[in-house]
Structure 1
Amino acid sequence: MASQQHIEKMQLRQNFRNFWHTDLFTTIQADTPYCCFALWCAPCVSYLLRKRALYDDMSRYTCCAGYMPCSGRCGESRYPELCLATEVVCCFGNSVASTRFLLQDEFNIQTTQCDNCIIGFMFCLQQLACIFSIIALIVGNSELREASQVLSCLADFVYCTVCACMQTQHKIEMDKRDGKFGPQPVMVAPSVQQMSRFDQAVPPFVGYASHA
């Protein structure tokens, strides 16, 4: 039942109307220092972003933002900071994904097809590296073992890079939420339009007053 709800949520996110403020390709240009910070101190960034996504209210914290089977069963209500620290260290990938889902559900953000391709490529490369490592272990060929190690290094590099860009994307989105890019545009009701009457020779003037 829970898995069916998660599938329905994933399908619902595909129809959200809003998009991320920056895509994964442009996050490095948008905030290079933070992207480097997210690359070298990934768990720390994940901790800070989740706390910020919760508006610094740790009483709202749930393990993996409520998207995993372990959510609500790890003593979060008593030790939220400790549980979050454990999550970002032991389940780093899930912590990044959970923060992403949290922001998407709050602001109705869908992921572009380009970003989906990047994330999908990252997962496929990891699975391919795992398969090659198993084959190399079974066969025992030294050349195949070296090739699997190179592929594993490439998969790890792509994983770390994509996660850094993804966390920078989350940070920029929360900067937008918190008004760091300036005030959000205010929706203004359209002005009342006047309708001309049949007994008027000329309809009333609507618009800016003419200069004398």
Structure 2
Amino acid sequence: MAGQSDAMIEKMQLRQSYRNVWHTDLTNAVVADLPWCCLSLWCGPCVSYMLRRRALYNDMSRYVCCAGYMPCSGRCGESQCPEVCLATEVFCCFGNSVASTRFLLQDEFNIQTTQCDNCIIAFMFFLQQLACICSLVACIVGNSELSEVANIISCMSNLVYWTVCSCMQTQHKVEMDKRDGTLDTMSVPPMQQMSRW
């Protein structure tokens, strides 16, 4: 088990030395593909399923739970029924499924996460931890005002979590559009030709 965690730490450190960057960062993901970002917000698990499948080039024989980045990966019977396992992953472990697809794409294309994206992700985690701590303290103390504050922080945490996840999934989609050659990019107009009368 220690060897596996050491390998994961090495892989995380290796990601810091990647030279490529995401085609769009988290702050511009909404602008990059607004309809997809909205779909990701309202149907997050379904979008996560589609993106993981696409990241695997629609070859579900390559599927491993959480893309092989979690300790349980490869021990969940994925090879017998990968579609059901992926559906279970995206609905029961949504955050892990989004992060795993992100790591999969980063490792395939040597993409590093920008400092700005890291700050956004860290803020999301901070709010989740703060909400948990406030809820625990409110439960132990039994103070109704503190409980109300904990509920407000929890709502803020959920709002940030779903927004960041939808922006991440839009970022993944834009990156795969680039990979697959379906990204709408502006091209040089065709050369004009003179016509003779």
What TM-score, normalized by structure 2, do the two folds share?
0.91
Secondary structure in 1 matching 2:26: coil
State the distance in 2 between where 1:74 and 1:51 align: 18
Cross-structure match for 1:154? 156
Counterparts of residues 42-61 of structure 1 (less than 5 Å): 42-61=44-63
Report the residue type matching 1:108 in the other structure. N
Cross-structure match for 2:9? 7
Deviation at 1:181, TM superposition (A): 2.8
Number of residue pairs the alignment of both structures matches: 183
State the distance in 1 between where 2:6 and 2:135 align: 33
Report the residue type matching 1:166 in the other structure. M
Cross-structure match for 1:176? 178
Cross-structure match for 1:203? none
Deviation at 1:180, TM superposition (A): 1.2
Cross-structure match for 2:168? 166
Deviation at 1:182, TM superposition (A): 6.6
State the distance in 1 between where 2:153 and 2:88 align: 29
Report the residue type matching 1:125 in the other structure. L
State the distance in 1 between where 2:42 and 2:183 align: 26
Deviations along 1:54-112, one digit per CA (max 9) or x if unpaired, are: 00000000000001111111111110000000000111111000000000000000000
Question: Match for 2:70 among 64, 68, 92?
Answer: 68
Report the residue type matching 1:15 in the other structure. S
Report the residue type matching 2:20 in the other structure. N
**Contact in 1 for aligned 2:138/2:146 (Cα 8 Å):** yes
Structure 1: state its 5+ residue gaps: 184-212
Question: Match for 1:104 among 103, 106, 130?
Answer: 106
Do structure 1's residue 40 and structure 2's residue 49 form an aligned pair? no
State the distance in 1 between where 2:123 and 2:26 align: 13
**Contact in 1 for aligned 2:21/2:114 (Cα 8 Å):** yes
State the distance in 2 between where 1:181 and 1:93 align: 26
State the distance in 2 between where 1:71 and 1:143 align: 42
Cross-structure match for 1:31? 33
What TM-score, normalized by structure 1, do the two folds share?
0.85
Q: CA RMSD in A?
A: 1.0
Secondary structure in 2 matching 1:76: coil
Secondary structure in 1 matching 2:27: coil
Percent identity between matched residues is 73
Report the residue type matching 1:70 in the other structure. C
The structure having more radius of gyration, on CA atoms, is 1
Report the residue type matching 1:100 in the other structure. R
**Contact in 1 for aligned 2:174/2:183 (Cα 8 Å):** no
Cross-structure match for 1:92? 94
